[in-house]
Structure 1
Amino acid sequence: MPRRRKTPRELEESDRAQALVEAQNSAPAEAGETEGSAPSARSSAPGLKRTPASASGPSGSAAPSPGPVALPVPVQNADPQPAERQGHGQAHSQNVGEGGQGQCSVQPQGQGQESGQGQGSGQGRDESSSGGPPGRGRGMCGGERGSGRRGGRGRFNQGPPHSTLHQNVPGSFSPHREQYRGQNGHDYYEMQNQGYSSPMYGRPSRPFQQPIPPAPRPLPQGGRGPSYPGQAYGRGGGPPAHFSASPPSYGPGVGAVVEQFGSVVLGGVGHSSNVGQISEPHVSKYEQPSTPPPISSKQLRFPLRPDRGRIGQWCIVKANHFFAEPPDKDLHQYDVTITPEVPSRGINRAVMEQLVKLYRESHLGTRLPAYDGRKSLYTAGPLPFQSKEFEIRLLDEDDGTNQPRRERPFKVVIKFAARADLDHLRRFLLGRQADAPQEVLQVLDIVLRELPTHRYSPVGRSFYSPNLGTRQPLGDGLESWRGFYQSIRPTQMGLSLNIDMSSTAFIEPKTVMEFIGDLLNKDVTRGLSDADRMKIKKALRGVKVEVTHRGSMRRKYRISGLTNQATNELEFPVDDNGTLKSVTDYFRETYGYVIRHPSLPCLQVGNAQRPNYLPMEVCKIVEGQRYSKRLNERQITALLKVTCQRPRDREHAIMNTVHHNAYHQDPYAQEFGIRISNELAQVEARVLPAPRLKYHDTGREKECLPQVGQWNMMNKKMVNGGIVNNWACINFSRNVQENVAKSFCQELAQMCQTSGMQFTRDPVVPLQYYHPDNYDRALIHLCDDVYKKTKGKSLDLLIAILPDNNGPLYGDLKKQCETVLGVVSQCCLTKHVFKMSKQYLANVALKINVKVGGRNTVLVDALSRKIPLVSDIPTIIFGADVTHPHPGEDFSPSIAAVVASQDWPEVTKYAGLVCAQAHRQELIQDLYKEWKDPQKGLMTGGMIKELLISFWRATGQKPLRIIFYRDGVSEGQFYQVLLFELDAIRKACASLEPDYQPPVTFVVVQKRHHTRLFANNHNDNRSTDRSGNILPGTVVDSKICHPTEFDFYLCSHAGIQGTSRPAHYHVLWDENKFSADSLQSLTNNLCYTYARCTRSVSIVPPAYYAHLAAFRARFYMDPEASDTGSLTSGMGGANRSQYTGSATSRTNRVVGGNAVRPLPPLKENVKRVMFYC
């Protein structure tokens, strides 16, 4: 075949590459370095600051690093017939070997083949050669088909050895293969799960290259992704030229790659791998961000809004935001010192209230100040002094007696501190100032909270009162109070007051005896067990009570504990001589009160040094105390029923709250000149179109267009059905007879087959019943039976039938399966087994499919490569979340979870990792880790690095773009989380290759906000769904959004009951230059790919999956040790050593001064699939 003449640019690049490699091979190794490990300046840089790569760039001004040594890649069952490459277009690649150089000139035209020749001595062979002598090599690069530019237009087929490329083949369904359809509608790529290493989803493995670092290039502007000069693919999405055109067979093992990623080098050295690769040794194709990340929050500026979205059908919605006109008076801050110092905000407020009452007209110059309850006082205009001291006497509460109340003296010092800059606020609201004036916003928030704080019970930013709605019992001595949330926010329309309805749990004001009777659901006069005592102590600790045995004198106390002895056994000293008197005698002699339940313990209301004892029967709980501890399932259900309101009703309640608060009559708002509108904000919105979903071609419906956020599986088959050959069922419910369980399993197997899975009808071992207390022995015994029956094979799936009220059984079973046995499981409750509805079975089949490695559906646009900034180059999408312990669990670790997409361009499968970290630590500590190994020296790892490797193993490609969805971050943590976690992402990438820095987009996903969107006309059925909520896909990026930064509200789901809560997405970092339309459409479309149901979901699936994974990992902790931060693997008993792995060798890790024992590690086969679904 005639060879094309090189262009001047190609000749220049080839000469530069040759010179660089020759210089690299001739440079001596630096002291302390070993061959194969090039030094990285970026790994030692502090914070997020990255050093430029010009020191090792093409100029060669700095001493280059030594050339790495390529390890031989073992090949098994090498394909003697390399695949052909078809298509149009041209590409060049050049390889340099030891002692010579080789060149591969690629000229695919029509049905032409690719060939490569190598010249030189020694080991110089072309990387793309499949054979040949050392001096010359000629081979064909296989694995691509397409039309247009290389890699095809909309499709790039990448075939491993033993892969079969079909043309004009009808869509026959093969569950054990992964199939990809091209744009022409006929070509398929079928990858069989055999003949090559498949550590992740049956994909081939191949190590990252370690290319010579390039000089940095600025990131392209205009919202487009990075371009790669010399790339061998166009829109079709094939890999750049320095990537392999075809995955190899049997790359290095997982451990070798993870421990020393750069030790296996496929580019820049002339070692032949016999896998049909094309390599360019001279330059890396990674785009460097245009500016290095900041190292502190002072340097950090969140991305500005690139534009406003235009895609979708335009509409008007109402938001629960009320325009607030900013003050027209100067704001002054004063420091307040109250002595003696008291920790109670209530007492501080009472002192300041008395001060204002006495001295407002005189010393305060008629000013009405706003007080934060601690150290700061704010006024509209200056006070007539710089510093002044006041004497205040506060009377104790009236105890109902005729005796004079005790006076408590306080000294209050008020001293001028600062003057707020309102011009900064005005410029910020107009978009002329980048940073928000947080101090001014905090002052305005305090001013508007002052009057509600006096009227109601404040809890956080909410206010509650029994007069704002009907109290509803929640059970166990609790009741719900209605209230409202209030917060001042800067928006595009100016300042807005966000008001929403809320409910929370309060302790019922009843006697302690009645409370513990409701709590324990028993007659407490018959005695208490040790478990009862612990439950009472936990529920009443910190609760304020008043005594009832002294007539109208109702003195109040706070409970600190519960006595171990009964009341009739308690004695205490009554004088300095140590004379003891029993509690029963004291009450009889002093108050004439005879204890009726002397066998019950007493409440302890003093400290350990001076304890005071009160019998339970003489105490009553004071009204208005919020219950801050964990609610049980029944209480949560009851509270949800109270808070669940249809959109029309919620809007009406919000408007009533605004009118009831009467902000125009608020004396504090009038004092500071703040005016609040009485009307809901009307906001422009758009309804984004739903994406088309792809199902398997063997089904009647090959594609589906969801309607109002919903669709079903009728006449459809999963796009990639999983394989379940060996499965078993174990029954822990005594109410389910064997014949019922067998019938259920048969129906479930039939549903899985109908849905498109390859599911064996009969279990590999007979169904057996076990008592829930023996779950661990039962699981191990079952796995042993399967191992013997299948002659060494393991379970693909375990189906477990559980009692409806199974307590800790579900979590214990998941922990045993996923961290000890390495088995994915599907649990089914007894009530569903008996009902056996088709809808339930279909939903379970969806979950099973993704747990065994299948895919339920993919976006049509993903297959046709039409997703902006995802389909053009290999893109990995992360989701991350941290779940914290429930209130009252003071020492339990927080759980962090990170998931990452493992299929590109489909972005449907997500692998997940979890870790435990310090109590209430929001920053994910294990994103990147460094440690020293005695033999290997400095080692690197972490969740980001492992998931990047996992993506590469699953797809055969390195991610060239990162999109990171982070859930659970409040606005006050934005800077801290971004600085820490973006730095971890950078370090993880650099640990794989020194110059590997793909552009990152970091997006925070918020659901715990109080913005609600309502239809402009509730009677218009065209603008609402069946629940009365706004249509799924409704997006708002104006008026109520941030004045300058890149954020938007997206209601991506259809409402079921209550009022839909839109998700708030805030972009904190964007090196990929997303436009508003591209990010909003991507996020909305991904919400239709959630694996567990045929509905669009409320938050983007990566963040949703991370939340599920973190919630699952909490089951891995030992419940008895969780309060002390100790986590165990839960293994014990005989015959378990074969399943323990390395779980017993874990050591504690000190984080923030607290020892946190790592979670038991997930088994490798579990972490590769979506086990958390």
Structure 2
Amino acid sequence: MALVEILSSKGTSPPIAMKKRIFKDIHAVYAGPPDGVGPVFDGDKTVYSHKELTPLEGTVSVTSYKLPVEQEEFKYIVRLKLHQFIHEGTQTNCIDVHILQLTEVENLKWRTSDLFHNLFGPQGPSMRNKSETEKSALINTSRRAMQALNVAIRYPMTTDCPSTSRAFFPDQAPSLDIMNGVILRRGYITHLRAGNTTNFRPPPDNLFLAMDMTCATFLEAPPEGNPANTLADLCCKILNVNPQRLCGLQEEDYRKLHKILRRFKINIKRGESDKGITKSIDHLTLTNSRNEMFETDEGTTSVEAFFLKTWGRRLRYPELPNVVTIGKGKKTGQRYILKLSGDQQSAALRFQTVRPAGRFEQIMMARTHVMKSAHEKLLAAYGIKIGQHFVEAQARVLPPPVVEYHSNLRISVSNGQWNIAKPNLQFLSAKGLKSWAVVICTSAHLPDPAIMNFLLGLRSKLIQLGLSVADSPPPVIRLTGPGQAAVKDALEKAGKTAWQAFEKTPPQLFLCVTDERSFLYNSIKVEGDINLPHSRMYRFHQNFASRGVTTQCMVLKHVSYPNIGHHIYNHLSPSWFVGIIEKIRKTNISQSADLTHNNLALKMKPSIAALVGSLDRTMLKYAPAVGVQPLLEPSDEDGRPRSQEPIQLFRTLLFGLLQKWAENNPVQKYPRRMIIFRDGVSDGEFSQVLERDAVQKLSGKADECKSSFKDVAGFTLSRQIRQCASRICPRQPNRRPIATQAGLQGTSRPTRYVILKDESNSSADQLQAIIQIISSGFQRATRSVGLATPAYYADIVASRAKLWLNVDDDASTVASGSSGRDQTAEERAHDLDVYKQRIESMMSKLESLDKQMWWI
């Protein structure tokens, strides 16, 4: 292993993409006889080699990213560090990847099993009778070896194409234009895994190359030689308008451009004599270049006049907003990070959804076309040979769960789904929709006759599903203008009109018709939750939700009567079916925890911690608990605060859910088993979660439960990894069940559940059965999901609470030029108290609706 330092003529370090291009010349120096194979580069500063390297210094000229295109000179220094990795030449036959034996230069022999120390960890069988120093050294050595092998496999594939930390997207791979300046590119994920081919007991006896397909969205970048390759043209594609339309942008257009183009890299060339520079967009201004005024030495001038006078260049679109830039960076291969529209999602799903047989075939084609002969030669130097066939592993197939509807009608789940339209099913318990209103939150042309026809059909379907619906049609209220204030007025008017239309019956539901991906969605949900007094309408000043009112948004062109009826029933009472659980005899409570961060906001804010817990043994009804997670303060004055993954309020939120269980089950015993799902935790954070989330805090909470409930609950803490590559033989097979089934969208992949702690002595078979059943209880859909349902719910609750925190920010996202990261610690502490009070106030108001799952 060696360290490489690359510096420009100004002494600065170039971007990673530039480093990769520079290292090609360094690689050529070392790639000489006898094998013609050079070292590999991780893209940052570390170089790995299969043979001994000599220190090297020199300069290299490469094509810069500046305009006009020119050669730029860089200096590099390669320094040796510790050791190099050398292949001894011993291989064993296997299906996927040959075993590698490594030797350190300083005559320190490595055995093949040394590669697996990191997999077993410090408590593994290979660590017995070893000191802490020896354990640490073995694990570090194993990590460096596995890292070197992964870099060697990925290096030829990521050098000349866009890549992320997990995937690479070769230019020759298929792509799809999904409109609005966005393209979908197919990529591949590769990672070495340890596992078995001859048995399923540790220790592992082989290495496997896990390879799978993936897709990612990128902003379209025309060729550099295209004269139409301008930011204005990209804006036209994003907004789907012609250039003349850019002169009259609305507030919604500004907001969309700002969200998409923030951190987008552009080449700036202000005149013929300007060499150009690459900058990153920070934000857009609400004023255009013609009206934006600023001070110069010669007095006040506009941006348009300044460019004309200084550079002799007349702006092409002076009516467009100004672009404020910061920093620098590369221009090609830029990711598109916003949510896709409905049409874009449909196109993307058709593009990336492939049946298993076709998926295997495409992966093997990628193996043939991507891993060329030069790549094979490089891997052979490391003792790696990629096999031609997939490794097959046995799987346990569970019987499908059963769902129950009215009149004791039970239906088996087929291919992960069932249909509530055929046969005509009715929900278990009859509910009544006695007072409701419809709010039109779109500027699209929707005549009253068309709306009434839709409402008649919807009422008929609701009755067919078993709901009792009022005879009178609901009042229809239309938005009078854009923005949150108009939404608030419309909901207030809808509540008052429904109160009067349905004989002073408090409204139960507001059905809001919106545009696709409407920016009003946040305002609708927040205004439906926050305090809206109606002294003339209600006896007490209470908000909508505390009176039993929830909001349901829908896009009219995508509506089907069964689906919208299903969602309306969820808002009234979510117990629309009961899973038949015959083999689980103990009383269980399933819970999940999740965090959502505000790092991408202009103003740095604390994270939201959300927990959900089941209210009965069916594990279908859930209640939420939400808290504010403070940021970690920087260690120095120049640092910036950052988010943290372990949940500090875990103990408090968990006990609140246990109390709700007790209130909902006064006769039943306290749950004997708690299954806690934790999402969003990387492998390196397991110990932090155990120390902060689980071991100390749950054990202490169990002591508190003794005095209240007499019974102590054993708990199982499971961390899940979505869409993972299966590990053939893990460290403890009965502790890492892998489950997969038909998901909501696209091609389903296995989800790996890592059991971090188990006090209930649950077997892998029991946990798999429970996970399969609750994965069919996701009440937003009549089908199973690829992730445990509580994990989905925790994410939904955290996102809803995040709206409450950001309710005041929506109008300023375009115009604000401040990053918000220059706050002092005192200012952040003050804001934290405000956010805590806001969250606590909202949760106390919505507590009465826990049994209705208002956040669905």
Q: Please tell me whether residue 724 in structure 1 is matched to residue 432 in structure 2.
A: yes
Is contact 2:474–2:498 with CA below 8 Å preserved after alignment? no
Question: How many angstroms does 1:393 deviate by?
Answer: 1.1
The one-letter code of the counterpart of 1:480 is L
CA distance in 2, matches of 1:969, 1:554: 45
Question: How many angstroms does 1:1091 deviate by?
Answer: 2.5
For 1:679, the equivalent position in structure 2 comes to 389
The one-letter code of the counterpart of 2:237 is D
Paired residues, what number? 733
Question: How many angstroms does 1:477 deviate by?
Answer: 2.8
Equivalent residues in 2 for 1:125-144 (5 A)?
none
Q: Please tell me whether residue 967 in structure 1 is matched to residue 682 in structure 2.
A: no
The one-letter code of the counterpart of 1:516 is C
CA separation of 1:1042/1:739 partners in 2, compared to 1, >3 Å: closer, same or farther?
farther
Cα deviation code 1:466-487 (max 9, x no counterpart):
3222x43233333233322222
SS of the residue corresponding to residue 381 of structure 2 reads helix
CA separation of 1:894/1:648 partners in 2, compared to 1, >3 Å: closer, same or farther?
farther
For 2:219, the equivalent position in structure 1 comes to 506
CA separation of 1:1097/1:429 partners in 2, compared to 1, >3 Å: closer, same or farther?
closer
Q: Which of 1152, 1155, 1161 is residue 842 of structure 2 equivalent to?
A: 1161
CA distance in 2, matches of 1:1091, 1:629: 28
CA distance in 1, matches of 2:811, 2:208: 41
SS of the residue corresponding to residue 567 of structure 2 reads helix
For 1:901, the equivalent position in structure 2 comes to 614
Question: How many angstroms does 1:1000 deviate by?
Answer: 0.9
SS of the residue corresponding to residue 776 of structure 1 reads helix
For 1:59, the equivalent position in structure 2 comes to none
Cα deviation code 1:512-571 (max 9, x no counterpart):
3322332342425974659567765661644142759759x9855224567977489899
CA separation of 1:943/1:479 partners in 2, compared to 1, >3 Å: closer, same or farther?
same
For 2:45, the equivalent position in structure 1 comes to 375
Which deviates more from structure 2 when the two are superposed, residues 954-963 or residues 802-811?
802-811
CA separation of 1:1171/1:515 partners in 2, compared to 1, >3 Å: closer, same or farther?
same
For 1:652, the equivalent position in structure 2 comes to 361
Q: Which of 148, 152, 160 is residue 455 of structure 1 equivalent to?
A: 160
Question: How many angstroms does 1:647 deviate by?
Answer: 3.2
The one-letter code of the counterpart of 2:716 is T
CA distance in 1, matches of 2:530, 2:325: 45
Is contact 2:32–2:38 with CA below 8 Å preserved after alignment? no
Is contact 2:499–2:506 with CA below 8 Å preserved after alignment? yes
SS of the residue corresponding to residue 686 of structure 1 reads coil
Question: How many angstroms does 1:600 deviate by?
Answer: 6.1
CA distance in 2, matches of 1:685, 1:1068: 22
Please provide the CA RMSD for this pair.
4.5
Question: How many angstroms does 1:798 deviate by?
Answer: 1.1
Q: Please tell me whether residue 880 in structure 1 is matched to residue 593 in structure 2.
A: yes
Q: Please tell me whether residue 1039 in structure 1 is matched to residue 760 in structure 2.
A: no
Q: Please tell me whether residue 584 in structure 1 is matched to residue 293 in structure 2.
A: no
Is contact 1:709–1:1096 with CA below 8 Å preserved after alignment? yes
Cα deviation code 1:162-218 (max 9, x no counterpart):
xxxxxxxxxxxxxxxxxxxxxxxxxxxxxxxxxxxxxxxxxxxxxxxxxxxxxxxxx
For 2:779, the equivalent position in structure 1 comes to 1091
- TM-score scaled by structure 1? 0.55
- TM-score scaled by structure 2? 0.74
Q: Which of 569, 575, 589 is residue 855 of structure 1 equivalent to?
A: 575
Is contact 2:610–2:627 with CA below 8 Å preserved after alignment? yes
CA distance in 2, matches of 1:762, 1:391: 85
Q: Which of 263, 267, 274 is residue 545 of structure 1 equivalent to?
A: 267
Question: How many angstroms does 1:854 deviate by?
Answer: 5.0
Q: Please, which runs of 5 or more residues in structure 1 have no aligned partner?
A: 1-332, 575-580, 612-620, 930-941, 1012-1037, 1126-1146
Q: Which of 674, 678, 691 is residue 401 of structure 2 equivalent to?
A: 691
Is contact 1:1005–1:1064 with CA below 8 Å preserved after alignment? yes
Is contact 2:6–2:75 with CA below 8 Å preserved after alignment? no
Cα deviation code 1:959-1016 (max 9, x no counterpart):
22211122333333333333322144344444444687521111223224356xxxxx
For 2:169, the equivalent position in structure 1 comes to 464
Equivalent residues in 2 for 1:1023-1172 (5 A)?
1039=728, 1046-1053=735-742, 1058-1121=746-809, 1158-1159=838-839, 1161-1162=842-843, 1163-1172=846-855
Q: Which of 637, 647, 650 is residue 925 of structure 1 equivalent to?
A: 647
SS of the residue corresponding to residue 846 of structure 1 reads helix
Q: Which of 939, 958, 963 is residue 670 of structure 2 equivalent to?
A: 958
Is contact 2:192–2:207 with CA below 8 Å preserved after alignment? yes
Q: Percent identity?
A: 21
Q: Please tell me whether residue 342 in structure 1 is matched to residue 7 in structure 2.
A: no
CA distance in 1, matches of 2:832, 2:111: 37
SS of the residue corresponding to residue 1161 of structure 1 reads helix
Q: Please, which runs of 5 or more residues in structure 2 have no aligned partner?
A: 85-103, 105-109, 128-134, 198-205, 223-228, 299-304, 532-543, 632-641, 814-826
For 2:415, the equivalent position in structure 1 comes to 708
SS of the residue corresponding to residue 801 of structure 2 reads helix
Q: Please tell me whether residue 557 in structure 1 is matched to residue 278 in structure 2.
A: yes
Q: Which of 722, 732, 739 is residue 1007 of structure 1 equivalent to?
A: 722
Is contact 1:335–1:416 with CA below 8 Å preserved after alignment? no
CA distance in 2, matches of 1:706, 1:732: 36
Question: How many angstroms does 1:725 deviate by?
Answer: 6.0
Question: How many angstroms does 1:750 deviate by?
Answer: 5.0
Question: How many angstroms does 1:497 deviate by?
Answer: 1.4
Q: Which of 510, 516, 522 is residue 235 of structure 2 equivalent to?
A: 516
Cα deviation code 1:750-799 (max 9, x no counterpart):
54444344x25336x9624242644323433554566689998744x214
CA distance in 1, matches of 2:829, 2:69: 59
CA distance in 2, matches of 1:366, 1:825: 68
Cα deviation code 1:72-111 (max 9, x no counterpart):
xxxxxxxxxxxxxxxxxxxxxxxxxxxxxxxxxxxxxxxx
CA separation of 1:852/1:354 partners in 2, compared to 1, >3 Å: closer, same or farther?
same
Question: How many angstroms does 1:432 deviate by?
Answer: 4.6
Is contact 2:744–2:786 with CA below 8 Å preserved after alignment? no
For 1:780, the equivalent position in structure 2 comes to 492
CA separation of 1:876/1:500 partners in 2, compared to 1, >3 Å: closer, same or farther?
same
SS of the residue corresponding to residue 778 of structure 2 reads coil
Is contact 2:570–2:852 with CA below 8 Å preserved after alignment? yes
Q: Please tell me whether residue 867 in structure 1 is matched to residue 595 in structure 2.
A: no
The one-letter code of the counterpart of 1:802 is V
Q: Which of 177, 180, 199 is residue 473 of structure 1 equivalent to?
A: 177
Which deviates more from structure 2 when the two are superposed, residues 510-519 or residues 344-353?
344-353
CA distance in 2, matches of 1:403, 1:924: 47
CA separation of 1:705/1:627 partners in 2, compared to 1, >3 Å: closer, same or farther?
closer
CA distance in 2, matches of 1:968, 1:1102: 13
The one-letter code of the counterpart of 2:432 is V
Structure whose residues are more often helix by fraction? 2
Is contact 1:928–1:987 with CA below 8 Å preserved after alignment? no
The one-letter code of the counterpart of 2:850 is K
Question: How many angstroms does 1:916 deviate by?
Answer: 4.6
CA separation of 1:922/1:1086 partners in 2, compared to 1, >3 Å: closer, same or farther?
farther
Is contact 1:663–1:675 with CA below 8 Å preserved after alignment? no
Which deviates more from structure 2 when the two are superposed, residues 705-714 or residues 946-955?
705-714
Question: How many angstroms does 1:875 deviate by?
Answer: 2.0
Q: Which of 370, 385, 402 is residue 661 of structure 1 equivalent to?
A: 370
CA separation of 1:597/1:1122 partners in 2, compared to 1, >3 Å: closer, same or farther?
closer
For 1:977, the equivalent position in structure 2 comes to 689
CA distance in 2, matches of 1:1090, 1:603: 44
Question: How many angstroms does 1:1040 deviate by?
Answer: 5.9
For 2:351, the equivalent position in structure 1 comes to 642
Question: How many angstroms does 1:684 deviate by?
Answer: 1.4
Is contact 1:896–1:916 with CA below 8 Å preserved after alignment? yes
CA distance in 2, matches of 1:993, 1:403: 73
Is contact 1:527–1:600 with CA below 8 Å preserved after alignment? yes
The structure with the larger Rg is: 1
Equivalent residues in 2 for 1:58-207 (5 A)?
none
For 1:423, the equivalent position in structure 2 comes to 113
For 2:188, the equivalent position in structure 1 comes to 484
Is contact 1:855–1:908 with CA below 8 Å preserved after alignment? yes
CA separation of 1:907/1:629 partners in 2, compared to 1, >3 Å: closer, same or farther?
closer
